[in-house]
Every structure is written in C-alpha cells, then in structure tokens.
Amino acid sequence: MEKILNVKDLNISFHTYAGEVKAVRGVSFDLHKGETLAVVGESGCGKTVTSKSLMRLLPTPPAEIKEGSAIEFGSTDILKLSERELRKIRGGEISMIFQDPMTSLNPTMKVGDQIMESLRIHRKLSKREAREEAIRMLRVVNIPNPEKRIDEYPHQFSGGMRQRAMIAIALSCNPKILIADEPTTALDVTIQAQIMELIKELQDEFGTAVILVTHDLGVVADVADRIQVMYAGKIVETGTREDIFYNPQHPYTWALLKSVPTLETENKAQLYSLQGTPPDLIKPPVGCAFAARCEYCMPVCREAEPEEINCSDTQGVSCWLKHSMAPKVENPITGGI
C-alpha cells in the first residue's frame, strides 16, 4: 500500500509555569492510503497532541515542536510549510473531526454555508455548484431532508446530526487523510455505532486514510487496521488489530485490554483497574515510563529505557520483557509464555 504520511522522531513540549512538559517524545509512525490507524491510550498520553500536530493546530507558544521532528506528507514536510502553504493542506488534503462538533461548528453560520465555504476555498466551486455539492454531502452522511436542513443552524441539529455535518465538512474536499479525535465520545452508543459505520463507508467510497484517536478499545476493535498504543508521550506497542487484540505484548496493552468489559463481565467490580497515575512529564522517569504501575517491573526497567523490538513484520513493542535475558512471564491475554 502506498505510504502517504511519515512521522519521524516527533518531539513536542509545552512551556508552562511549572516547567517544560514533554508531551510527545520521539514518536515515529507511518500511514498508508485507505487504512485506519487507531491511536489509543489514557488521557494525557500524547495522542491528541500528536494528531493535532499533523495539521499544525497546536498553539506555538506554549507548544514547541522540537528540531529534528518531521511530518512528511508525500514529499512535503508539513513542519516546514508557510502558513499560506499550510492552508491549502488543511481541510483540502488533511481534515479533522473533533469530539464535540458544537465547539468546531460556527454557531452563527448556517450548516450549509460552512460546508460551502470549504468547497469554495479548496475546490474553487461557484456558489451554485457549492450549494448543490453541500446538499449532496449532507445526503451522503444521511442527514434527512438536506434541501431544507442546509439552511439551518447547528443548534437546530441533534448531537448525532452535528457530528454528521462535521464529517460532511471534513470529507467535502475528498481529503487523503481524515483525523478523527474521539469522534463518538459525546454521543450515545447507538449513534456512536452509526457514526463509526458512516466513517467506514465513506472511507471505502473515497479511499481516505483515517487516524482514529480514542480511548475506547470497543470502537477500535470494529474499525482499525493497525493500532498504536501510547503511554506517557511514547508509542509503547504497535501492531495490526489482530496483533493487539489476540497477541498483545506490552504490560500496558494488557492492562487496557483487561479493563474492557466482555459478555462474561457481570458487574463493574469484576473489571480490572490499572492502579496509579501516569508520570509527571516535566520530569519523565529514567527508564520505562510505565515502571511505577507495572506488575512485571524489573530493576533494569528503572535504569534504562527499553528499545522497540520487532516481534513480527507487523508488531513492535518497547518493553524489557521482550529482551532475550528477561524472565518468561505468562501473557494474561493469550495465556501463553
């Protein structure tokens, strides 16, 4: 599959009164045409900061993308573009949808005008063509009666319809990449399923690659081709959906999976709960950032950071347990050693 995005050694800090928060630390990954890459982890693990940086949406300052980082979109390094060049990519080539469409849609502008604005800027359509296309896009995202709805304001739409309208705006210019940051968190479960199904259908139709940022492994299990697990600003495990759900290797991935309810879970008290909190990223710990919460922690874990080890062609993990000298432990998900 054609590679369309290549993120190399991304390091992002936030300058705060308390000190420099190293929010993203040496993140590298790529994205292929038409695939869905899910980025999962707890709040504060760096997944949203990483995804926003792909469109240079972080306010600088307080954010700072460090020297040596690169975000290659085709042959273009997004980090080196001028604001003017960037505007052509934002919305046109790479689009984003957010958790709460009410904060992203302009409450004072009709929904149709917001879709048309994007079409006129990026696809240079006339007003009449843009209106026709906006109606078509509202129909594509299953908004009923789009000829009437196009002239309504966001507050006249339900939560699910607002999210659909956001998707219509995001996909109206046929972007190569759609970044969906917790796109269903604010919605109830039936609407969540419909929105994810819609994103998948549109992805198949338009061939768009999707970066799905979420803490919800249930959503990921349905739609992701590949998954990367982030903890304390780093990618700790990466693999296909099958690798991560059926053969996970990192103790943090094990903890995430153990805390997902299954059909056998009868009450919440049975669910696994990961104790402790992520480390302070003003002073990240020496060694493995997960050490303080890891039940498999060994002395070496507190002394040196584990390097990424390839478990297969598709799966990589950063954990000292994968070292040839490490003791063998039972994988709590597979039951294997």
**Residues in the site for ligand SF4, rule: CB under 6 A?**
251, 288, 290-291, 294, 296-298, 301, 306, 319-321
The Cα–Cα gap between 120 and 123 comes to 6
Single out the residue of 160, 158, 159, 138 nearest to residue 148, CA to CA: 138
Q: How far is the CB of 203 from ligand SF4 (least distance, A)?
A: 33
Q: How far is the CB of 234 from ligand SF4 (least distance, A)?
A: 11
Q: CB-wise, 81 or 300, nearer to ligand SF4?
A: 300
- Spell out the long-range contacts of 329-335 with Cβ–Cβ below 8 A and sequence spacing 24 or more: 329/296, 331/247, 331/248, 331/249, 331/254, 332/254, 332/258, 333/246, 333/247, 333/248, 333/254, 333/257, 333/258, 334/246, 334/247, 334/248
Q: How far is the CB of 275 from ligand SF4 (least distance, A)?
A: 14
Q: How far is the CB of 104 from ligand SF4 (least distance, A)?
A: 36
Phi, psi of 125 (to 5 degrees): -80, 155
The two tokens of residue 337 are: 């050693």
Q: CB-wise, 138 or 244, nearer to ligand SF4?
A: 244
Residue with tokens 């999707």: 210
Q: CB-wise, 107 or 276, nearer to ligand SF4?
A: 276
Q: How far is the CB of 287 from ligand SF4 (least distance, A)?
A: 8
The neighbour count for residue 11, using CB atoms within 10 Å, is 17
Q: CB-wise, 171 or 230, nearer to ligand SF4?
A: 230
CB 214 within 8 A of CB 220: yes
Q: How far is the CB of 252 from ligand SF4 (least distance, A)?
A: 6
Q: CB-wise, 195 or 232, nearer to ligand SF4?
A: 232
Burial 122-147 (b: 16+ CB within 10 A, else e): beebeeeebbebbbebbebbbbeebe
Helix (H, G, I), strand (E, B) or coil at 32: strand
